[in-house]
Amino acid sequence: MNPFRRNFVIGSIGMGASLWLTRASADAASLSVSDPAAKAVGYTENAAKVDKTKYPNFAAGQTCANCSLYEGKSSDAWGGCTLFADKLVASPGWCSSYTNM
């Protein structure tokens, strides 16, 4: 195989994989607070709105971004969560399953 063809094939495979991964990440939908799974754990998109009487374990500063279950970067606006495999949670959000890193 000549070098041009080999480079073209390798580049095409890389580009195809890159496009597929981009498409796969774009398909993830954000978790709605009205979702039954979200309601079960008291998920909110803004930790400042947590009902502290209903969730006494909540402490100021706890957000999805600094939870050990959060799968995104702390700087991301939305990220994955091990509780909600196919949905994205808001970085400033919170739920009763919060665990320290």
Q: Decide if pLDDT at 55 tops 60.
A: yes
pTM of the model: 0.71
Q: Decide if pLDDT at 23 tops 50.
A: no
For residue 21, give the 3-state DSSP assignment: helix
Mean pLDDT of 77-101: 93
Question: Among positive and negative, which fits the CA dihedral 45, 49, 55, 59?
Answer: positive
Q: Decide if pLDDT at 17 tops 60.
A: no
Structure-model confidence comparison of residues 63 and 19, the more confident one:
63
